[in-house]
Chains A and B, each alone.
Chain A
Amino acid sequence: MKTLIKIKPKDYKAGDVVKIDFMAMHPMETGMRKNKDTGALIPAEYIDEVKFMFNDTLITKMVIWESLSVNPLMSISFKVPGAGTLKVIAKDNKGQSVESTTQITPKG
């Protein structure tokens, strides 16, 4: 599972509210689609939990279902308290899990 974290805007100060965009490359199968050749149902495979942590403190927890689009984007706000590490942990219904981190470095 490839992931991408973007902080918008790129330049921010401590105390600013920024947007965190988290994207994961994931098929997000609903379990309702059929394989066109065999007619067999494609089993459901979707991200079901995403946690955003800043310096190991939970900021936001998401419980999500297969209704999110393929390669889902999740965007939240975050009030920058200072420098630190932002960690995003995403887990899918098959137990596959991925941890991605980015540094929060406020300017000024």
Chain B
Amino acid sequence: MERRSFLKGFGAAAACAMALPHVSSAAEEKKSGGPNEMNFETAVAAITGGKALVASAKVKMEAPEIAENGAVVPVKVSVESPMNAKDYVKAIHILASKNGNVRCANIYLTPANGEAFFGTRVKLGGTQDVVAIAEMSDGSFLTAKQNVKVTIGGCG
């Protein structure tokens, strides 16, 4: 009797172990995907063309440290710059490092903006870094990031 129940239990455990990898891969499949799926490294490489990113205090990002609702996370980015014809911020890129498609927005600015600023609300699938990349008119790339803890995910 004991042997039988042991075998039964073992069999169930083995079935569980076999089923587990399947379950986890299904969960991964659900996480990834989306029509414009792109990971962080690819997206950064596409923006910078292989140039180095420099973390800079000139780029200021305002985002909450804890977001209760991942569906609406306010993000504001401003970049210190005189914004004249010779020295201005060409573009601000906002990336959510762990979303299926990490790209959120590319903003192409001109000196007519007066200040390099962009504010929006993004969806975050989970706790992750929100990254801003500023493309300067001299061809350099400055960056800043903020970790946002998400209590309820914003996708699905």
Number of A-B residue pairs at CB separation under 8 A: 115
Q: Is B118 an interface residue (CB 8 A)?
A: yes
Contacts of A66 in B (CB 8 A): 34-36, 101, 123
Could you tell me if A31 and B112 are in contact, using CB atoms closer than 8 angstroms?
Answer: no
Q: Is B127 an interface residue (CB 8 A)?
A: no
Known: A60-B108, A76-B107. A69 touches B122 (CB 8 A): yes
Interface of A is mostly: strand
Q: How far is the CA of A34 from the CA of B121 in the complex (A)?
A: 23
Known: A31-B34, A33-B156, A67-B123. A75 touches B117 (CB 8 A): yes
Residues 105-116 of chain B, each 1 if its beta carbon lies under 8 Å from chain A, else 0: 111111011111
- Kindly report which residue of chain A lies nearest to residue B36, judged by CB atoms: A65
Q: How far is the CA of A44 from the CA of B36 in the complex (A)?
A: 10
Q: Is A59 an interface residue (CB 8 A)?
A: yes
Could you tell me if A76 and B118 are in contact, using CB atoms closer than 8 angstroms?
Answer: yes
A68 in complex: contacting residue of B34, B35, B102, B123, CB < 8 Å: B123
Q: Is B33 an interface residue (CB 8 A)?
A: yes
Could you tell me if B101 and A75 are in contact, using CB atoms closer than 8 angstroms?
Answer: no
Q: Is B44 an interface residue (CB 8 A)?
A: no
Q: Is B99 an interface residue (CB 8 A)?
A: yes
Q: How far is the CA of A68 from the CA of B71 in the complex (A)?
A: 9
- Kindly report which residue of chain B lies nearest to residue A18, judged by CB atoms: B114
Could you tell me if A32 and B155 are in contact, using CB atoms closer than 8 angstroms?
Answer: yes
Q: Is B72 an interface residue (CB 8 A)?
A: yes
Q: How far is the CA of A61 from the CA of B103 in the complex (A)?
A: 16
Q: Is A74 an interface residue (CB 8 A)?
A: yes
Q: Say how far B143's CB is from chain A's closest CB, in angstroms.
A: 18
Q: Is A17 an interface residue (CB 8 A)?
A: yes
Q: Is B136 an interface residue (CB 8 A)?
A: no
The 10 A-B residue pairs whose C-beta atoms are closest, nearest first, are A79-B114, A75-B119, A77-B115, A17-B114, A69-B121, A67-B104, A77-B117, A64-B105, A63-B106, A31-B35
Chain B interface residues toward A at CB < 8 A: 33-36, 71-73, 76, 83, 96, 99-110, 112-123, 154-156
Chain A interface residues toward B at CB < 8 A: 17, 19, 28, 30-34, 44, 54, 57-70, 72-79, 81
A-B contact pairs, 14 of them (CB 8 A): A31-B35, A44-B34, A57-B112, A59-B113, A60-B110, A61-B107, A66-B34, A67-B104, A67-B123, A69-B121, A73-B120, A74-B118, A75-B119, A76-B119
